[in-house]
Every structure is written in structure tokens, then in C-alpha cells.
């Protein structure tokens, strides 16, 4: 069984918990997820099974979509609602629509972020959350992220005085918790992320995901493989080079191929023969007139 399972991760499970569960259901060890989601966050988490585990890095690199809720008036040590409150300021009323829009506008494009102390970023071989749990502060590296789109959503029933929701399309590695905190600061308040849902990962959205209930029901009839999506769907952000039968044989053996006349817009790129996914190739770093394989698929 080779393909992508577009899972809707439930709250209460870690991404690794999901991997373990899928391994049992699909009876294979070759399972990988495509971008960690915190246990309390639900949303789109494509799972790669069999040969598809080879494309995990390429799916992880893609843009993501989220709906996040910003809570004004309280900052926490974890930057979300599960942490300890470390700063407070009363919020008499929500800032005006225009004020919020102006602030959101200032975060669109390339931004700089300092990773939260409660994150898995490694400093000197130790994860930041390990320092945080030990009560140690360390200097954190400033990182760049890209916010492709950021817009405020209409108020929900539980919002209005001290919180609002926003939809975000961003690059890999964006800390949404930190984004909420920084937006709050610019609005003049301590803040944290009070809720988060991942709505998009690469080209996968909520509409084409499956829940564990659906997967387990399919497994009862041994039809779980029918839920898998072809690997190429996880690579549709890469350009495709179609090759002939002779080149296909070279690709199968992991050989270098000549640079094609066709302009390749992405590096790496996908190599296909008819509708068969053969490999992922890239321009040879020392020989730009040649292409070398980085992943070759079998079966």
C-alpha cells in the first residue's frame, strides 16, 4: 500500500500517536506524518504510507493554512491557553475593525519571529521546551516566516470583547502562537492563542480529509487502502517532466539524465512516464547540464 492518507487529526492526540494508530490499521511500519500538530490542535495532517514516506520532506515544506483565535488581555508562558498567565491587562472593548485590519496588514509578507520557549527548536543539542521546563532562559534565534494571506474572520458567539479569529496562509515553520502574541502586542495588549485549527496542508483541505472513525470502519472490511490518495497529489507544487520508455529505464536504475530542453520551473522536480510517478530529480550541483535522482519510487 503506497499513498497519502489525508487525516483529520483529532484533539487529544500527538502527531506521533496518529502514526502509531495508522501503523496498526494499515499493518505497516512505513508511516510518516507531514508536520507536527500540538495535541490540543485539530486539523489537516497528511500521513504518508509505504513508498509515500519518501515524499514526507517535500510535503512538510509546503504552505499551511490555519484558523487561529487571538485572546487579548493575557499573556502565557506557552503562548497558548494551556500555559500559566504571566501578564494581564483588562480589555474594555475590542479594538476597532480598522485598527485590527491595519495591524494584520503589517504582518503580511516576510516577518521575523522568535520561536516560543515551549517549542521543539534545538539550541546546543537541547529542545527549547526542555530549557523551559527546567526554568532556564536561553537566547533564541530569530527566524523568517512568510505570511501569504492574513484576514480577520467574522466574530463568533464567544468573541467580541477580548478575542477574535483570523485565517492564515503561511510558510512552513511559522509559529502561529507567536504570531498571535505579536499581533496582540501591536494592538497594545498582552495576548495568546486561545484556539487553533489547521485547515490546509499543501493541496489538502478539510473537505478531502478522513477521520479515524472513517478509517476504522473501512478497515473492518479491509478497504482502508481505498482511502489512499496517489503520491503525485502531494507533489503538485513541483514541476513535472514526462519522459520516454528509454529514459524511464534509466530513472528506475537511479541514473543521471541529461538536462531537458523543456524549462523546469522548480528544483527539485517530478519525473513521470505516462501516469506513473517514477522519481524526484534535481539539477546536479556540480554538473548543471545533468539531473540527478533524490528519490526513486518502486511499486
Residues serving a catalytic function are 38
Contact partners, residue 221, CB within 8 Å, separation at least 6:
none
Work out whether the CA dihedral 229, 235, 239, 243 comes out positive or negative.
negative
**274-280-281-285 Cα dihedral, nearest 10 degrees:** 170
Beta-carbon contacts of residue 102 (< 8 Å; ≥ 6 apart): none
CA distance 294 to 290: 13
C-alpha cell at 253: 536504475
User: 266, 206, 263, 270: which is closest to 240 by C-alpha?
Assistant: 270
Nearest in space to 64 (alpha carbons), one of 146, 151, 3, 177: 146
Q: Cβ contacts of residue 288 below 8 Å, gap of 6+?
A: 259
How far apart (Å, rounded) are the C-alpha atoms in residues 47 and 55? 10
Q: Are 81 and 91 in contact (CB under 8 A)?
A: no
Amino acid at each position: 500500500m503506497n499513498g497519502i492518507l489525508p487525516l483529520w487529526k483529532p484533539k487529544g492526540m500527538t502527531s506521533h500517536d496518529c502514526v502509531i494508530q495508522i501503523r496498526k490499521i494499515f499493518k505497516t511500519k512505513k508511516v510518516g506524518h507531514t508536520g507536527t500538530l500540538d495535541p490540543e490542535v485539530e486539523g489537516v495532517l497528511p500521513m504518508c504510507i509505504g513508498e509515500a514516506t519518501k515524499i514526507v520532506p517535500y510535503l512538510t515544506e509546503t504552505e499551511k493554512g490555519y484558523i487561529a483565535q487571538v485572546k487579548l488581555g493575557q499573556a502565557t508562558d506557552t503562548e497558548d491557553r494551556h500555559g500559566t498567565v504571566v501578564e494581564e491587562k483588562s480589555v474594555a472593548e475590542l479594538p476597532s475593525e480598522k485598527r485590527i485590519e491595519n495591524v494584520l496588514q503589517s504582518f503580511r509578507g516576510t516577518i521575523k519571529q522568535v520561536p516560543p520557549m515551549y517549542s521543539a527548536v534545538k539550541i546546543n543539542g537541547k529542545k527549547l521546551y526542555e530549557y523551559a521546563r527546567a526554568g532556564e532562559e536561553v537566547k533564541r534565534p530569530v527566524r523568517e516566516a512568510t505570511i501569504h494571506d492574513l484576514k480577520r474572520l467574522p466574530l463568533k458567539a464567544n468573541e467580541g470583547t477580548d478575542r477574535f479569529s483570523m485565517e492564515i496562509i503561511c510558510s512552513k515553520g511559522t509559529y502561529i502562537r507567536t504570531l498571535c502574541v505579536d499581533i496582540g502586542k501591536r494592538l497594545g495588549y498582552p495576548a495568546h492563542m486561545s484556539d487553533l485549527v489547521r485547515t490546509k496542508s499543501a493541496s489538502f483541505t478539510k473537505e478531502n480529509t478522513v477521520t479515524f472513525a472513517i478509517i476504522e470502519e473501512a478497515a473492518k472490511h479491509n478497504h482502508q487502502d481505498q482511502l489512499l490518495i496517489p503520491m503525485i497529489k502531494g507533489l503538485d507544487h513541483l514541476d513535472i517532466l514526462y519522459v520516454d520508455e528509454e529514459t524511464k529505464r534509466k530513472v528506475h536504475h537511479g541514473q543521471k539524465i541529461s538536462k531537458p530542453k523543456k524549462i523546469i520551473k522548480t528544483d527539485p522536480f517530478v519525473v513521470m512516464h505516462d501516469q506513473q510517478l517514477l522519481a524526484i530529480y534535481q539539477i546536479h550541483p556540480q554538473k548543471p547540464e545533468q539531473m540527478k535522482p533524490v528519490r526513486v519510487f518502486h511499486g
